[in-house]
Structure 1
Amino acid sequence: MKPTITTTEYNYITQQVNDLTSAYLAVNDFQVRLAVRAKTIERVTPLLPSDELNTQHFLAGLETDRLSRKAAAKLLELLVPMVDPFPVLSTKKLAKLFRKVKKLKQPEWAGLKRYELTYLGWNDGGNQKKYLVAPYQGRLIGIQGELSPQTVKGVCAICQTIGNVALFLSTTKSSGLGTYTKKGNYICRDSNQCNRQLTDPQALTDFLTVVQPQRKN
């Protein structure tokens, strides 16, 4: 099965299905539930390859009334083979993306659901650092920054969702006089959770534009 769905599209579909199951639990009126279900199917259908058997099974599964969360999770599993996942990066590849980091803490690949990841992010709590690997202008870039130990409730600059965020600051340029310019914003402390909430890739691109180091001319 050829991957045809982006991670952000998969996350959007997941959110729509979760909202549908929540509506089933909260609404008793059959006509209202029917309308919510129709709107959900209308939103997700254009994102799915119509010629795939898994798509047909998935959409047919949504047609049932009172869809449980367990049943919804099984339906979403049908879409995973269609998702173009975040690539696995070797230690050597990561080292090239973070050339100035002498002892780079590696992400825990085994615990990652790559079909949910639009970008890769992991924390080094001992050094109050956060590392990001993300697609930008057709290539993967690596960005390291300082992550504040203080967590607050706020809107994440990447996923645009209210949650537990911390201030991320990266060094974007040096004046050559021993002073540096740092730029950043508040982002989710938990990058895996952030990815699950990320449905608009443009928000990630906008954030990367701000925090990536400036190239020398």
Structure 2
Amino acid sequence: MEPTITAYEFSYINQQVTHLVNTYKSVNDPHIRDIVLAETLENLTPLLPNDEPITKAFLQGVKIDFLSRVQAADLIETLIPLVIPFPKLSPKQLEKLFKKVKKLKHPEWGSLKLHELTYLGWNDGGNQKKYLVAPYQDRLIGIQGEFSPQTVKGLCAICHTIGNVSLFMSTTKTSGLGTYTKNGNYICRDSAQCNRQLTDPLPLTDFLTTVRPKK
């Protein structure tokens, strides 16, 4: 079985199923429920491999008369084998992406759900830094930046969701004359939560274009 679903598609599927569950809990009109179910199936079916037994069982599970939150969570879990996980990088691979960082704080791999990660992000609170590893132009790149300790309610530049965000700033260009340019934006403080909310990779690409070092 070859995984075919991206992490951001998995997040989208999760959000669609959650919306369906919320509809069942808040709407009594069976006609409206049927419409939302039909829309959900229409949105999800193209993302799922049609020759997989897991897909057939998942869609049948979604179609039951009243889908509870617990049942939905169990259904979503069945799709995990079909999701392309974020690669688990070795210490050497990580350090190669952050060559200028002398003492790189590594992510806690044991706490990460790789099937939920479109990008990898972790905080170094002691140094007020944040590190990102993300796909950019068909390769993984590493970005380090200053991460403000102040958290505000705002729009994340990566997942485009309102939540707890902090200002991320990276050095994007140096002139060689002792001056440098910094660029950044507000992003989710919790990268795991950000990934769960990320359903479109384009804002992530735009953010990386802004904050990556320029030659």
Give the structure-2-normalised TM-score: 0.99
Distance in 2 separating the partners of 1:4 and 1:200: 16
Higher mean C-alpha displacement, 161-170 vs 24-33 = 24-33
Aligned residue pairs, count = 215
Distance in 2 separating the partners of 1:8 and 1:59: 19
Distance in 2 separating the partners of 1:152 and 1:20: 30
Matched, 1:113 2:139: no
Task: Report the residue type matching 2:114 in the other structure.
Answer: R
Give the structure-1-normalised TM-score: 0.98
The Cα shift of 1:69 comes to 0.8
The Cα shift of 1:177 comes to 1.3
Distance in 2 separating the partners of 1:66 and 1:15: 17
The Cα shift of 1:62 comes to 0.6
Matched, 1:68 2:63: no
Matched, 1:59 2:41: no
Distance in 2 separating the partners of 1:179 and 1:205: 26
CA RMSD of aligned residues (A): 0.6
Aligned to 1:95: 95
Aligned to 2:189: 189
Matched, 1:23 2:23: yes
Q: Which runs of 5+ in 2 are unaligned?
A: none
Q: Once the two structures are superposed, what CA deviation does each residue of 1:14-53 show, in whole Å capped at 9, x if it has no partner? A: 0000111111111111111111111101100000000000
Alignment of 1:1-217 (within 5 A): 1-215=1-215
Distance in 2 separating the partners of 1:78 and 1:50: 15
Q: Percent identity?
A: 69
Q: Once the two structures are superposed, what CA deviation does each residue of 1:44-103 show, in whole Å capped at 9, x if it has no partner? A: 000000000000000000111221111001111111101111000000100000011111
| Displacement over 2 Å in runs of 4+ | none
Distance in 2 separating the partners of 1:17 and 1:163: 21
Q: Once the two structures are superposed, what CA deviation does each residue of 1:114-158 show, in whole Å capped at 9, x if it has no partner? A: 011000000000100000000000110000000011111111000
Distance in 2 separating the partners of 1:67 and 1:149: 41
SS at match of 2:158: coil
Distance in 2 separating the partners of 1:101 and 1:39: 48
Distance in 2 separating the partners of 1:27 and 1:57: 26
SS at match of 2:166: strand
The Cα shift of 1:180 comes to 1.1
